[in-house]
Amino acid sequence: MSTAMNFGSKSFQPRPPDKGSFPLDHFGECKSFKEKFMKCLRDNNFENALCRNESKEYLECRMERQLMAQEPLEKLGFGDLIDGKSETKTQV
């Protein structure tokens, strides 16, 4: 955290998120997808690149349940995953 002592230097400016805030998943509707994602992360030594499918599925679950604004997946950076899940699996 930026302390008050650093008078001359710039302080950290938090920026609001681009798409706003996630509504809370009070009923745990997407909990199973989250568990799959966390298991994938733990199995792959916390490498994000290998678990992008699971994260895509989690976000899709949120979008279906109105817990997230509907967005085309390309805009969320999953453009390469839409063309077929098998392709990405072979890349891994």
Residues lying near another protein in the complex (CB under 8 A): 1-2, 10, 12-22, 24-26, 28, 30-31, 34, 37-38, 41-42, 45-49, 52, 55, 58-59, 68, 71, 74-79
Measure the CA–CA gap between 91 and 60, rounded to whole angstroms: 22
We find the least distance from the C-beta atom of residue 21 to another protein, in angstroms, to be 4
The residue to which tokens 């002592």 are assigned: 5
We find the least distance from the C-beta atom of residue 85 to another protein, in angstroms, to be 17
**Smaller CB distance to another protein: residue 1 or 5?**
1
We find the least distance from the C-beta atom of residue 52 to another protein, in angstroms, to be 8
Contact assessment for residue 80 and residue 86, using Cβ atoms and an 8 Å cutoff: no
List the one residue out of 22, 86, 28 whose CA is nearest residue 53.
86
